Amino acid sequence: MIEAKGLTKRYGTLTALDALTLNIGPGEVFGFIGPNGAGKSTTMKILACLLTPDAGSATVCGLDVASRGDDIRKVIGYMPDFLGVYDDLTVDEYLQFFAAAFRIERARRKVIVDQVLELTDLSAKKHALVDSLSRGMQQRLGVARVLIHDPKVLLLDEPASGLDPRARIEMRSLLVELGRMGKTLMVSSHILSELAEMCTSIGIIERGKLLYAGSIEDAYARTREAGGHRERIAVRLEEEGCGVREAAARLERDPRVARVVVDEPGRTLAVELNAGSHGHHFVIEALVSVGARIAAFQPEDVKLEDAFLKLTTGALQ
C-alpha cells in the first residue's frame, strides 16, 4: 500500500530525510517512532502529496506521489499533528463541509456523517461547536474527518499528542478498531507503550535515517539476541513460608540470576536474569527449595522502549 525508495528531503543545509526506504503492506498498523525532528512529519507530508521530495520516489496504493497527487488524495486520509478548528461551525457542519469537499452526493452525506460520528463516539456532540470540544474530542473529530470519504490508507501524525490518559485510551481503542476494519494505518507517536499494543509493525527513524522497519516481534527478538538485555521477573511471596531475604539469597547463588531487588514490606522480589536464553522453571524451583510460597509470578518481557533504545544507539545495527 505504501512504498518509498530512497526518499530524501532537504531544508537548506538540513537533511530532514536521508534516503529513506520503506514498505507498508495492506492492512498493516505501522507505528512510526522517532524523536522530534527525526523526519516523521516530513515523510507523512510527502506521502500525502503536501511536499515534494528532493530525491527518491514513493507510491501509495500503487500511485506515484510525484504525478498522481489528485488520485492519491481520494484514497488516503491525512491527519496532521495539530487540528485547525472552525470556530463558528458545529461538529455536524464541519463534517458536512468536508463531505461536500470530497464531492459526496448530498443524499448520502447525512448517513456517512452519522456513521463516522458513531464510530468515533461523537454522536452526542453532533450539534456542539467545534471549538467547544475538549482536546481529546477534537482529535477524534480529526479522525472522523479523514474517514468521511472511506480511505484505504490513514496517515495519522501524533494523534494522541496532548491528550490526557483517558483520551489516549479512547484514541488507541479507535485506532485498533480501524485496523480491524482493514484500513492501512501509519501512526507516528512518542507514546511507545501504546504503539506496542496496537501496531503490527514499526519503523524507527532518527536524524532522517530509517534505523529499523519490520514486525514488533522481530524487533523484540533482535533486542534479546543483541546481548545485554536482562529479562525481569516480578515475584510476590505469601506470608506463610520463608522470608523474602532468604528467598533472595537463594536466587543470588544461581549464575543465571544477575541480581535480586527486595521489597521486604511488600514481600516482593524483582529478579533480573543474565542475558541469554533461560526458562523460568529454575526460579520457581529455587524458591520452593527454601520453603517459599509463591503468590504471584510475572515475567516482564522485552518492551518497545528496550528495542527503541538499542536501535537508536546502534546496538542492533
Could you read off the pLDDT of 281-300 as tens digits, one per residue?
A: 899 999 999 999 999 998 87
For residue 293, the tally of other CB atoms under 10 A from its CB is 13
**Positive or negative: CA dihedral 148, 149, 152, 156:** negative
Closest CA to 81 of 160, 11, 2: 160
Could you read off the pLDDT of 30-44 as tens digits, one per residue?
A: 999 888 888 999 999
User: Between vectors from CA 20 to CA 178 and to CA 24, what angle results, nearest 5°?
Assistant: 25
132-163: string of b/e by CB count within 10 Å (b at 16+)?
ebeebbbbbbbbbbbbbbebbbbbbbbbbbeb
Q: Which domains are present in the chain?
A: 2-223 (3.40.50.300), 230-301 (3.30.70.100)
- State how beta strands 76-79 and 63-64 pair: unpaired
Closest CA to 175 of 200, 205, 203, 148: 200
87: Cβ contacts below 8 Å, ≥ 6 apart: 129, 130, 131
**How far apart are the C-alpha atoms of 192 and 241, rounded to whole Å?**
39
- State how beta strands 268-273 and 2-11 pair: unpaired
pTM of the model: 0.76
- Tally: H helices and E strands in the chain: 11, 14
Could you read off the pLDDT of 141-181 as tens digits, one per residue?
A: 999 999 999 999 999 998 887 788 888 888 889 998 999 99
